[in-house]
Amino acid sequence: MSSIDFEWDPAKSTSNKRKHGISFEEAKTVFYDENARIINDPDHSENEERFIILGLSHKLNLLMVSHCYRSSKDIIRIISARKATKLELKQYEALL
């Protein structure tokens, strides 16, 4: 598997961990889930194109991770991460 480069704002990562209980270190592992799904997030794409990925982390938490691509898509910038809702879990399971 090829390496993926990630970046994030350390203060935002700390805030996200406090608010949602999910670290960005865990969130980045969702990108290695072969069953993960990425969708465009136009509602939150004012200054940059944003996306949401729904996938399983290495801790087996199903996460929704908001992100964007930097440097011609060579770097993924994580914006926020949270555990998926029950509805999102059903949607993920339907894709398997």
Choose among 78, 85, 95: nearest CA to 61: 85
Per-residue model confidence as pLDDT tens digits over 22-78: 999 999 999 999 999 999 987 866 778 999 999 999 999 999 999 999 877 789 999
Question: Rounded CA gap, 96 and 24, in Å?
Answer: 25
Domain residue limits, the chain: 5-95
